[in-house]
Structure 1
Amino acid sequence: MARDFVHLSDLHLTSLAGVSARELFSKRLLGYLSWRRRRRLEHRRERLDALVADFAGDDTAQIVITGDLTHIGLEREFRAAAEWLAALAPPARVALVPGNHDATVPASLAYQARYWADYLAGDDGPGYPTLRVRGELAFIGLDSAVATAPGLATGRVDGAQLARLPALLAACRERGLFRVVYLHHCPLAGVDSRRKHLVNHAAVAGTIAAGGAELVLHGHGHRDQRHELDTVDGAAPVIAAPSASAEGRSDRPAAAYHRFAVARTEAGWELSISTRGFGPGAATIATLQEERRALQRAR
């Protein structure tokens, strides 16, 4: 039985046009200046709309979004993103975790719960790690988005999440599920700069490795990044999607998303990965890369 799901990240779908000066206190001012200089030109809503239209015909595929729907975490941005999510698909089909731009200041954390609660929650309600089981797939969400000092975009998965994660991974293994762990920041060392990395990456990667997983998804770097994590159950691909709204300026890739298909095999699982998006200078969406990986697992 094959199951499909798609992965989008770093949507930056909101606009800061018309924001008042009184809304730009603290770190938000720097974010606004970045949007004025660069991000409003780089992140284009029409690119995101085209990606969504590309997979919208399949109304059964699960959708995983690894954060950064907003630019500076204003309440108006959370409202706009909530409207976009409602048009995208029902909460049962969309598994969401926030990104660092969605946690710019402490107030942004309250807005997450106010406007996105149904999309952030697991099957049993709120509280990380979240768990959503869809057929043979287990989507396990971790929150790495924390408010940081100006100039930093680091993340952290708190100790309470890490304490609960091993039992969750083990329970999903016992049920024979394909475990997809998703978070905003990369859990591996050396992928992001110290200004942007997951500060407790060793603890996060170590917990996933000890508990086992079949796939880890993240965003944050605005690039298609592919690595592996050796786990107790075998190698798990660690895959990042680029920004889903990127124009592709400078050395950054243009908007793209990943589509996954999972099938059980005699040896474990087969994972098919199709990358769809805009190639360099392209005006239409095409398949940029296709890959299949055999994941051997003990039965």
Structure 2
Amino acid sequence: MSIPAPNSVTIAHLSDVHLPPPAAIPLRELRNKRLLSLMSWKKHRQHRHLGRLSDAVIADIAAHGPDMIANSGDLTNFGLPEEFVAGAAWLSSLPAPTCIVPGNHDCMVAQPWAEGLAHWSLWMTDRGKDFPYCRQIGDVVIIGINSGIPSPPFMAYGRVGRAQTRRLRDLLHRTRGLCRVVMIHHPPRPGLVVRRKSLLDQRYVAAALREAGAEIVLHGHSHDSTITTIPQSDIPLLGIASASLRSLKPWRQAAWNELTIHREENAWRIALAQHRILDEGGSEVAQRRVWQRPCEQAA
């Protein structure tokens, strides 16, 4: 999908919305890892992941009028078919064209594509084997990677895999000359999440990003608003807090990233304004940052 662009392109990045699950979950769906996750939701997470905060994030995004919304995964809690249907309705309601990648909660257990992620095809790709996919708006392209895989109880790790990493490298080469914004759920850098939640093949994904080039990488999963880099490179790596999380730690309070991208003579100017939702209402700009990223020559 390609959208005609204005002089600059603005992307709203959010993640880990964790929409409230269905009121009643069929017993047959709880004969696996979902049961433990439901217990965690009932005991802790439902009191911290609040719908009013994710609603406030969307209202704040709408007020800023972005050209594109990028959602880096975990729209669901348990990856139930009913949650994917509800997620599709939610995605349809957003105030700008949207793209999404799966998170570990969206891929909690193995299930047929048609029962789960197929409901989000309009906002990513029609088939699992087509990851990574891309969405273009003017001179900017968002490249979506799938790192979500089923994992054992108490684990939340991800994996991209050799075939997808190879396709990622090829796609990055083909889109040289554009501003390549890469989106993934699990951060491709050690230390941002504990090992049991890490990207198992982060070393190879980071190598592909370094070798083929990218202008900026967005991730979720950590529930932290962070600014780091892809290892052994100067490629900015941005994490964002859960869009629904209430926290006393400012860097974990519900937030979204506003990225404004403008092409200058020989460089991309990428300006970040990180918007944090205030618990008493409204929002504030928590961080600002500007990067000048060199324009690669078209392939």
- Separation in 1 of the partners of 2:185 and 2:128? 20
- Separation in 2 of the partners of 1:170 and 1:114? 28
TM-score (normalised: structure 2): 0.90
Write the letter of the residue equivalent to 1:138: V
Alignment partner of 1:239 is 2:242: no
Alignment partner of 1:263 is 2:262: yes
- Residues 137-173 of structure 1 deviation map (CA, whole Å, 9 limit, x = unaligned): 0111110000011110000002111111222111111
Which SS does the other structure have where 1:107 is aligned? coil
Write the letter of the residue equivalent to 2:109: V
Runs of 5+ unmatched residues, structure 2: 1-6
1:288 corresponds to which of 265, 286, 289: 286
Identity value in percent: 34
> 8 Å contact 1:74–1:108 — kept in the other structure?
no
- Residues 195-252 of structure 1 deviation map (CA, whole Å, 9 limit, x = unaligned): 1000000011001111000000000000001111268xx7210001110011115787
- Separation in 1 of the partners of 2:112 and 2:103? 11
TM-score (normalised: structure 1): 0.90
Write the letter of the residue equivalent to 2:274: T
Alignment partner of 1:131 is 2:134: yes
Determine the structure 1 residue equivalent to 2:157.
154
Which SS does the other structure have where 2:19 is aligned? coil
Write the letter of the residue equivalent to 1:238: L
Deviates more, 1:270-279 or 1:213-222: 270-279
> 8 Å contact 1:102–1:108 — kept in the other structure?
no
- Separation in 2 of the partners of 1:129 and 1:289? 30
Write the letter of the residue equivalent to 2:235: A
2:41 corresponds to which of 35, 39, 50: 35
Which SS does the other structure have where 2:252 is aligned? coil
Alignment partner of 1:116 is 2:123: no
Q: How does 1:39-54 map to 2 (within 5 A)?
A: 39-54=45-60
Alignment partner of 1:97 is 2:95: no
- Residues 40-71 of structure 1 deviation map (CA, whole Å, 9 limit, x = unaligned): 11111111111111121455510000000111
- Separation in 1 of the partners of 2:137 and 2:296? 22
- Separation in 2 of the partners of 1:171 and 1:141? 15
Alignment partner of 1:254 is 2:253: yes
- Separation in 2 of the partners of 1:111 and 1:138? 29
- Residues 243-269 of structure 1 deviation map (CA, whole Å, 9 limit, x = unaligned): 001111578721100000011223411
